[in-house]
Structure 1
Amino acid sequence: MAMDTTKIKLPHEVATVITKKAKDTSTIAALSPAEPQLFLDKDYMVFNGSSEAEVVAEGAQKSSYEETLTPVVGKRFKVVTTTRVTSELKWADEDNQLQIVKSIQDDQAKALGRVLDYVVYHAFNPKPKTTLDGFTALSTSAVQVTSEGDEVADIDALAEAVSDEYDINGIALSKTWAAQLRKLRVPSTGMRLYPEIPINLQVGNLDGIPAATSGTVNGRLITPSTKVLAFLGDFSLIKWGMVRDITSEIIEYGDPDNTGKDLKGYNQIAYRTEALYSYAILDPKGIAVLKAGE
């Protein structure tokens, strides 16, 4: 019996164009290295290291100090993204090497990167655009700094706001604020004040410290606006990692995203990518957040 191909219309020749909008990336992943995680709500025992040397006379009694360990409990969260497409796309992709499926999976992997910033910075769930119960946003727990409209003074104010117990080793910029900094010029020469900020705003360092720019810093998807312009401080205080690595699968049956539409019944397949994160912020006082004024 001959194969029935009446339901499938494949093109004789295809020129594929996949639009690539600028994608936000995770600034936390860029500024704070990931750590392997176990399937547990990991407790971080914070050692403050408060010892100081003591000068004692010969034969004099020596003193000691008591060290306390402060536990900080990490939080786990599972993330998933599912994309439905016509089942014919899979066959067309295989026959014509359109790379559409690969692009879908790459797009999903980037979404799983961005969600780390949304959860840690804003306690926000990107797809349904809702706040996350039981999560504390760094944008509210970090040291608060309000912009005075002078970008150079704002950087100084951010640095001064960070507790002097910590070293400043990173700054996460919103694209809005990065663009403002890039426009600043030295009045006498017209030279850019921050030439390290390129025209695409993807800065690698700023004023001598590592930097990263993304729309996740201010929360592009969040309404009303968070007014967040930047985070600056000790990014090693943000501990995070994958409890389970990113996995991707092709689903051909059922209703995987509870839309009420069975995949087979609608001639669809679904591509699903998911991962499991864990993170903890050891001390919010080690990071300052800059917000626009009223």
Structure 2
Amino acid sequence: MAMKTDQIKLPVSVATEIVNKAKDTSTIASLSPSTPQIFSDADYLVFNGKSEAEVVAEGAVKSSYEQTVDSVVAKRFKVQTTTRVTSELQWADEDNQLQIIRSIQADQAAALGRALDYVIYHAINPKTGAVLSGFESLSTSAMQVTAGDDDISNVDALADALNDSYDINGVALSKTWASRLRKLRVPSTGMRFYPEIPLNLQAGSLDGITAATSGTVNGRLATTPTKVLAFMGDFSLIKWGMVRDLTSEIIAYGDPDQTGVDLKAHNQIAYRTEAMYAFAVIDPHAFAVLKTK
């Protein structure tokens, strides 16, 4: 007997609403341009020019100086995010289905971007909030500045920690500190001291240098508070890039994230996005980190 399909009712359409909450972004991606990377281990040869001109008397012996060339090895790490959704999504009409899939992939791509900050700034796995072994965090190797009660002085203290030896081209702000700076006012006029910081805290600059704001700066997902308020320094000395570009796949069977829940048995499908990063901080002392007491 042929199977009848007239009694099976499938949804004609699915009404979709995408909730756009404020998303953290990668400040390193904003302040430091990416460069192509290869899978093999990469060494960055670091040359610190030390020469100064010498005034030499006529007939006098000319002196020299020893120049050393250091090397910094780039580290690689793989990141992935897997999102499970009901398989009923496949019943949706094409327009609604694509809207949800694109939102899932955009959400996953943003998560992979944030992972760059978590690993370089804090050596933290953003999914678990735990410290990663084998990685050194910039928050511990950079020049340490302890925040005082005066945030204008805190900005100056960050710059003073670097200006004598390094050029400053960027500052990464936590949302906590960006909010505090936005509220500062000039006593005599009531004007905002840093008017370049808008209500959404996404400052493009701070006191004349390029700025970026994100919850990744203080590591909001860390299980142990980092106490970080900001990073300032020469962001061109963070070398990073993707060894392998973002790849996405649809998984229809099995238990891809080892949760003990089979996809098919629970009418689910999974979308997975992966990438491979490589990065090197050429000189951690080219950065200053501001931390609370």
TM (norm. structure 2) is 0.94
Pairs within 5 Å for 1:10-29: 10=11, 12-29=12-29
Query: Does the 8 Å contact 2:130/2:223 carry over to 1?
Result: no
Unpaired runs of 5+ in structure 2? none
Question: Which residue of 2 is the match for residue 203 of structure 1?
Answer: 203
Pairs within 5 Å for 1:1-294: 1=2, 4=5, 9-10=10-11, 12-58=12-58, 60-92=60-92, 94=94, 96-97=96-97, 99-162=99-162, 164-293=164-293
1:41-62 deviation digits (Å, cap 9, x = unpaired): 2111110011222333455443
For 2:43, the aligned partner's letter is D
Cα pair distance change 1:146/1:56, threshold 3 Å: same
1:205-252 deviation digits (Å, cap 9, x = unpaired): 000000000000001111332111000111112111111111111112
> 1:213 and 1:159 mapped to 2: Cα distance?
18
> 1:252 and 1:7 mapped to 2: Cα distance?
23
Query: Does the 8 Å contact 2:13/2:92 carry over to 1?
Result: no
RMSD of the alignment, in Å?
1.9
Query: Does the 8 Å contact 2:89/2:97 carry over to 1?
Result: no
> 1:93 and 1:212 mapped to 2: Cα distance?
39
Deviation at 1:63, TM superposition (A): 3.2
Query: Does the 8 Å contact 1:41/1:278 carry over to 2?
Result: no
For 1:250, the aligned partner's letter is I
> 2:233 and 2:62 mapped to 1: Cα distance?
37
Secondary structure, aligned partner of 1:145: strand
For 2:46, the aligned partner's letter is V
Cα pair distance change 1:6/1:38, threshold 3 Å: farther
Query: Does the 8 Å contact 1:143/1:285 carry over to 2?
Result: yes
> 1:28 and 1:230 mapped to 2: Cα distance?
12
Query: Does the 8 Å contact 2:13/2:93 carry over to 1?
Result: no
Query: Does the 8 Å contact 1:163/1:285 carry over to 2?
Result: no
TM (norm. structure 1) is 0.93
Deviation at 1:96, TM superposition (A): 4.0
For 1:178, the aligned partner's letter is A
> 2:177 and 2:94 mapped to 1: Cα distance?
44
> 2:116 and 2:8 mapped to 1: Cα distance?
42
Greater mean deviation of Cα atoms: 35-44 or 111-120: 35-44
> 1:220 and 1:60 mapped to 2: Cα distance?
62
> 2:65 and 2:245 mapped to 1: Cα distance?
42
Unpaired runs of 5+ in structure 1? none
1:29-74 deviation digits (Å, cap 9, x = unpaired): 1011111100022111110011222333455443332211111111
1:80-134 deviation digits (Å, cap 9, x = unpaired): 0001112221331526456111101110000000000000111000112211001
Query: Does the 8 Å contact 1:143/1:289 carry over to 2?
Result: yes
Secondary structure, aligned partner of 1:181: helix
Cα pair distance change 1:246/1:95, threshold 3 Å: closer
Q: How many residues align?
A: 292
Secondary structure, aligned partner of 1:99: helix
Cα pair distance change 1:64/1:97, threshold 3 Å: same
